[in-house]
Structure 1
Amino acid sequence: MIHSTRRPSVGDMPVRRLGLGDLRDCLMLAIDRQWLPEEAKWRLLFEVGEVYGIDDPGGGLAGTAVLARYGRDLGAVSMVLVASRYGRMGLGRRLMLHVLDRAGDATVFLSATEYGRGLYQKLGFRAVGRIVTHIGHFRPEPEDFKHDGLRPAREADLTAIRGLDTHASGAPRAGLITRLSSIAERTWVAERGGKVVGFGAAWRNVDNVVVGPVIADSTAMARGLIAELASELHAPVRLDLGADLADHADLADHADHTDLAGWAAARGVRPAFTTTLMTRGGPLPGARARIYTPVMLALG
């Protein structure tokens, strides 16, 4: 019997909802695209998002995409990956159309590499700013620890922390913040007059510790939180810092966000790569000036 070696057409390969049993194949797909196998990140995405994929008839996954919903009006798209052997066959577009259909009328945002930006533009996304990822061993200065009112978070702070995140992101993300609190290596809050007014978390990824989110009402507070979170970690620190975000009215008067990048670089956490923040369906809601770093690029 002669077996056909013809690769199936894209239209013959259905999109399905993935589960934790597919985690290994997601990690292998990431490696195929020269991404790190970020197991902790993928596990969080499976818990708080909807992970979709296309099976490769030869084994493993041909592609993935993730949608995280924050209520009815906001969603984050991430991990749009297509195996190198299926490159430029339309799988990325097909996965994107699937998750956008699932998102409905919600405003959707993502962080785009140069490789994917053209596709997202064709699907109606527009660039609203840049995110510069800084990575390095954090070397604090004594003045970084002089901000008043900072302390480690307690379990009783969780309600206030979730409220701050909802206000800043403009969407209900209680499930994400609650789950993050259980995996974070450190969580600190800023307190003023007995009230929690800012917070930050740090969680360990494959080869670094992500400091995010950091939500504060001033750059000075953000610096203090980052210093407390990043000191004595004995591992490279990652900070995803926004730039050129004045397209958002809420951010137009907050040029001091860029000052944070210079402060981080002076302490050994230097620019590593840049992605483009893109939205579809409307502007991002919330008090965005308060978000100094996201939970991660994949979730905002």
Structure 2
Amino acid sequence: MPDALLEVDRISKRYGEVVALREMTFEVRAGEMFGFVGSNGAGKTTTMRIALGVLTADSGQVRWKGAPLTFETRRRIGYMPEERGLYPKMKVAEQLVYLAELHGLSAAAARRAAGEWIERLGLGARRQEEVQKLSLGNQQRVQLAAALVHEPEVLVLDEPFSGLDPVAVEVMSQVLREKCDDGVPVVFSSHQLDLVERLCDRVGIVRKGQMVACGTVDELHEGGPARVRVRVEGAGPRWVEALEGVQVVDKLNGSVVLELSEGVDDQAVLRAAQDAGPVREFAPHRPSLSELFRNVVTEETAA
């Protein structure tokens, strides 16, 4: 297993009686895209702000290449906040050059890097416009350029796809994958779970300030109950009611998704479906990341 570059090790944070983080722990490896998902208020943004030094943890540590993060190592992080972190009255090119120089680039290198990212992200026609006059989607592109302009060694992005049209989503996805291919670790949070599932090498699910599940999507499926997708022509889901240890957990385009308790024979379920009518579909069902996430939220509500 490759060594971790960015390590979040048991960080905790309280605001009075409110526990924002409780021993939050995960790691991100070189060239890995890590998806950070959870409900609003679960602790994702607080974790990112602690990693950036914007907030201080009550306990625990964030490390880069095995050593605690310092001001100098944090300068090598590309950060994209969920809220717009741009100067609204500055022009696009001027702003990116300024931010690149703040990260230590020379004036010439800053101009060159700003120009490259402006073109790469499709902002060439907007380079002399004030940020406040851009659409929200183009502001988001500028925000990404600001995170990339100093050639960071790690990217930490909070809801980077928010407000983007499908074309911009594809552009940003391609850029992030290219950075990973160059060995840069990428951490991003998102409520767009289909994108997380498509892009990420590993996913961490956060609940009430704790990491409750972490791994590849395949690993997150392991140990869960068996599910099958069944479509019986002309029959509703009532035929399932007579089956012990079987319950309907979803309905999809005329099919039902059944969850089988341990020990239930799927062939017995198939025979019952055939007795109910012509079976047009009977197949194992692999839950999406959205379903896995919903299960975690359901567990939280039931707790």
- Tell me, yes or no, whether TM beats 0.5: no
- TM-score in terms of structure 1 length: 0.25
Q: Which protein shows a greater Rg?
A: 2
- TM-score in terms of structure 2 length: 0.25
